[in-house]
Amino acid sequence: MAKKPLTTKADETPEFVEFWEGPLLPDGTRDRRKGWRSIARHTDGRGDARDAFLKHIEAGADGQDIADGGKWFIHNLKDGDRQYVPLVATWINRRAYEDGAEMWRDMQEKLQEASIRRSDNVTRIQQPPRRKTAFLEAYEREQAKKQAAQ
């Protein structure tokens, strides 16, 4: 059995980068709180993650499913559970992303719908025109007197 060649950062797909680093924000930066790197143990490596990720891609998995499943896992991780986070290769190899991807997408769809409902339910209140202050009215009277005197 021939050994597989090692993978490098050049082999990373956009989906893997989203999974590991976090999704892109509109300003072009990454939301690192939603990437696996934010919860990885010190023994967890990017190389192992990349190898497991690419192995599942070659087996027919969708890269976006893995990335979305990772976001769901991180989103639902409680503070006390950080010590129980599996190594990324273990998490990918047990195909934990399959259910998480659908749940993440359902949650995003519900959030989008709620946002639309909230924006439809808003009525803008028009501010009444501002009155001049007593000081400004007195100042304008004085200026008008000076103008009339000239």
Which residues sit opposite 24 in a β-bridge? 30
Q: Is the pTM of this model over 0.85?
A: no
| pLDDT cut 90: percent of the chain above it | 43
Average confidence score pLDDT of the chain: 87
Tokens of 58: 């070659």
For residue 126, CA distances in Å to 49, 123, 130 come to 54, 9, 12
Query: What digits encode the pLDDT tens for the residues 106-133?
Result: 999 999 988 888 777 767 778 888 888 8
Tokens of 59: 């087996």
**pLDDT of 54:** 92
Query: What digits encode the pLDDT tens for the residues 28-72?
Result: 888 888 888 888 888 888 888 999 999 999 999 999 999 999 999
